[in-house]
Amino acid sequence: MRADGPPTQGDRPGSRTRARQERAMGNQETIVSDAPRRSRRRSEGGPPEPPGPPTKKGGGDGKGGWRRFVPSWKILVAGFVVLAAGLFGMIMVAYANTPVPTADQAKADALAQQSTIYYRDGKKEIAQLGTKREIVPISKMAQSVRDAAVAIENDTFYEDSGISIPGMFRAVFKTATGQQRQGASTITQQMARNYYDGLSQEVSIKRKVMEIFVAVKLDETLSKDQILENYLNTIPFGRAYGVEAAAKAYFGDSATAAKLTPEQGAYLAARIQQPAWEPDAPALKARWTTVIDYMSKQWPDRYGQLPKTAKFPKLRKNDNANELGGIKGYMVMQVLQELKERGLTPDAVRSGGYHITSTFDRKLMLAAQAAVKSTTGSMSKEYHAGLAAVNPKNGRILAFYGGTDYITDPFNEPFDAKKQAASAFKPYVLAAWLQAGYSLKSYVPGNETVPKELPGQAVGGFKNSHNVGKAVDVVKATADSVNTAYVSMAYKLPGQLDDVKNLVESAGFNQQRMEDDVKTHSYQFAIGSALVTPVEQAAGYSIFANEGKYTKYHVVQEVKLGKQVVYGEQRAVKKVIDPGVAADATVAMEQVLRSGTAAGKGLGSRPAAGKTGTNNDEKEAWFVGYTPQISAAVGFYREECRTKSGKVVQPVHSNCPVTPRGKASTKYGNENPYTKPYEVSLGFEGAGPPTLTWQKFMTLAHEGLPIEQFPKRAEVGLAENIVPSPTPTVSKTPDNPFDSGDNPFDNGDNQDCLVGPCDGTTPDDNPTIDEPGNGDPGDGDGGDNGFPQTADGDGVGGGRAPDPRPSGWSPLARPEDR
């Protein structure tokens, strides 16, 4: 026993630890000796195999921690191979499924050609619109322009397979270093992008891949000459698309793609990269020099001396810079507007290669311009005039005056200016009167209305500017423009104002405007409170010149694509009044030019009829008149341009200046204009400049035309005296209704004439308008300066003309008038 304590277990002889070690050793030997026989045979004749790696407790491969998640390199290689194979397979499938584009898939823009608008003869051009392009075969393209394009855009064009990988990398490098000379895309890729649907111009990987696929397939399908031909026929050169049109645009009308010199061919090729360059921009000249240099290096046998001899080509002036300049812009825009309403958009017109025959007569367009300018020449730019002329037999607008220059003043007066019709509206009341079965022999109120008070009248009732007596017949009421007579006639109609409203809507006036005016002004509607345009008036009076029929006014005769008519003429015809009604209404309006408000301003021996019109304070003045061949309307109004402080500023190009003197301004702009228009008095009436302008135009317009007579008086209806006749018995109406000798109320005075032999009397074309301020619903008090905010209709209207009443005895006539 040890003194320091009991012995430890490890110190004991024959301990369990040693025994386990020994047993372990014995077991190990036994395991080794009992190894599989396969190992023992393999060891025969050679060294024994080394022992395997130690294993961790619980099994495993010996990796621990994060390493167990890292795949072996064998797995990585296998995965990459599978992925690459799959990606390659997807690319091959996508390529195989890419269809070869055909001509039918060509983009409209790529092969678009100009459309041409003609005057009504179908020969004289008004304007060419849209893309300038002529498609020509490669055989009609000079070798030099082909070589120039290849040299600067794709020098490996004849060798590559439609794409150029080196070219793409080279373009990236040169772009980054500021040395860009050639595009990354080959000519085949550019052609595919410009020519075929599905390849947008946006920069994206998807578009680029698609472009590559199409380019490769095209290169397999088309010859190099076919690809180059399509390319040079479709790319933009600035003034024009395609090499043929570009040759004419830059080098003259006699130039063609076949006749281009090497210098000219190099010039066009230089424009491909930046079509918007100015014709002689320094950068363009530098690129032209580069094209010449590339041509000489690529084809030294053809162009080796060109860098030494080449001179920058002489360019033509761009005399067709604006297709809308002058009066042609007004015609073009009206044609485009009408076609748009029929489903042919302006963009489609500009790219479709259409031949459009308008209704405009060149001689009459110039006559309209001359007539207006001769009258307004001494007036300030505050005065605005619109003229429209229509063929009453077919609704074709023959001529109009919209302004001097569409570019500086795009507001088209006869189509856009909506002003009160004033007394020029009265003939529609006359037509409704006759259509209702009443006659021209009827006596109607002179000095005051019947009834005395009517809805819509101003304080004091409806008035005239001169004394015409207690009663006048309908002819004199028309000739002298008697307000009280016409308001009373409208009230006497079976349907009252509805009869008039339905009639004018049937005659082409905007339905919404007519309905709104009746609601707002009631019986002022009968004497012209409604807003109308000159072209509506010219077409509306066609019912009197064309036996009661109205044809929707229009400006397009036909649209052809090649030899096929794709849009015919729109000629919707509607019977509005009876022929006899039209004939008798004409009888009354002839008197306006013979002895009435416009006496002495007719067309000489040529029969003509019409009506003056003047609004309150002479803010709007009209004359609308016709012959059997032409119906024309002339309207005037005046606008002052005022600043917020009330200062009056003269218009610029007939427009109120948005900025002082039309110069750039940080203070003023469209949202805060420097001046605004205010409608003011013209200082004259309808019998003045409007009638004189009409007379000048109609005289010019009828030169060379045969004289046609109006139909004879039809004597429709029966007398319906709203007031008692001025004598115990009604005298027989003379065979000549204009023989005033038998009319006791014709005192020989011209009661409503301003210019000419007027005998010092004053006219009366003034409807009494019940409005705040100066009493004119078009005076700007409402913020719209007389222009309605409602949308226009289609020009035919939705109204129904009153049903006719038979001539002869009618219960409507009183016994003493039978």
Q: What is the reported pLDDT for 775?
A: 34
Region 398-419: mean pLDDT is 95
Q: What is the pTM of this model?
A: 0.67
Let me know: does 313 contact 263? Beta carbons within 8 Å. Answer: yes
Q: Answer yes or no: is pLDDT of 209 > 70.
A: no
Distance CA 134, CA 233 (A): 7
Question: Mind giving me the DSSP string for 647-678?
Answer: -EE--BTTB--SSGGG---SS-SSSS-S-EEE
pLDDT digits (tens, 9 = 90+) for 538-574: 999 999 999 999 999 999 999 999 899 999 999 889 9
Q: What is the reported pLDDT for 742?
A: 38
3-state secondary structure (DSSP) of residue 608: coil
Q: What is the reported pLDDT for 55?
A: 52
Distance CA 286, CA 608 (A): 68
pLDDT digits (tens, 9 = 90+) for 422-433: 999 999 999 999
Q: Answer yes or no: is pLDDT of 112 > 50.
A: yes
The better pLDDT of the pair 482, 664 is held by: 482
Indicate the residue type of 790: T
Please, which pLDDT band fits residue 319 given cuts at 50, 70 and 90? low
- Residue 145, φ and ψ in degrees, nearest 5: -75, -35
b/e per residue 291-313 (b: at least 16 CB within 10 A): bbbbbbeebeeebeebeeebeeb
Region 155-173: mean pLDDT is 65
Q: Answer yes or no: is pLDDT of 188 > 50.
A: yes
Q: Answer yes or no: is pLDDT of 95 > 90.
A: no
Distance CA 749, CA 494 (A): 34
Q: Answer yes or no: is pLDDT of 773 > 50.
A: no
Q: Answer yes or no: is pLDDT of 103 > 80.
A: no
Residues 6 or more apart in contact with residue 698 via CB below 8 angstroms? 603, 608, 625, 627, 630, 632
Region 156-171: mean pLDDT is 66
| Average model confidence (pLDDT) across the chain | 79
b/e per residue 209-224 (b: at least 16 CB within 10 A): ebbbbbbbbbbeebeb
Distance CA 263, CA 269 (A): 10
Distance CA 421, CA 615 (A): 8
- Is 10 exposed, middle or buried (CB count within 10 Å of its CB: 0-12, 13-18, 19+)? exposed
Q: What is the reported pLDDT for 73?
A: 66
Q: Answer yes or no: is pLDDT of 246 > 80.
A: yes
Region 448-466: mean pLDDT is 90
The better pLDDT of the pair 97, 444 is held by: 444
Residues 6 or more apart in contact with residue 230 via CB below 8 angstroms? 191, 195, 222
Residues 6 or more apart in contact with residue 116 via CB below 8 angstroms? 125, 127, 128, 129, 354, 355, 356
Cα distances (angstroms) measured from residue 543 to each of 315, 429, 560, 579:
55, 13, 31, 9
- Among 235-244, 385-394, 513-522, the least confident range: 235-244
Q: What is the reported pLDDT for 199?
A: 47
Let me know: does 753 contact 599? Beta carbons within 8 Å. Answer: yes
Give percent of the chain above pLDDT 70.
69
Q: Answer yes or no: is pLDDT of 770 > 60.
A: no
Residues 6 or more apart in contact with residue 9 via CB below 8 angstroms? 15, 16, 17
Angle at 170 between CA 169 and CA 173, to 5 degrees: 90
Question: Mind giving me the DSSP string for 290-344?
Answer: HHHHHHHHH-HHHHTTHHHH--PPP----TTS-TTTTTHHHHHHHHHHHHHHTT-
Residue 128 token pair: 């060419």
Region 454-465: mean pLDDT is 89
pLDDT digits (tens, 9 = 90+) for 28-69: 333 333 434 443 344 444 455 555 555 545 445 555 666 666
Residues 6 or more apart in contact with residue 515 via CB below 8 angstroms? 501
Q: What is the reported pLDDT for 559?
A: 97
Q: What is the reported pLDDT for 41?
A: 41
The better pLDDT of the pair 208, 437 is held by: 437
The better pLDDT of the pair 7, 131 is held by: 131
Region 110-128: mean pLDDT is 89
Helices (H), 642-776: 689-701
Angle at 359 between CA 318 and CA 582, to 5 degrees: 150
Q: Answer yes or no: is pLDDT of 86 > 90.
A: no
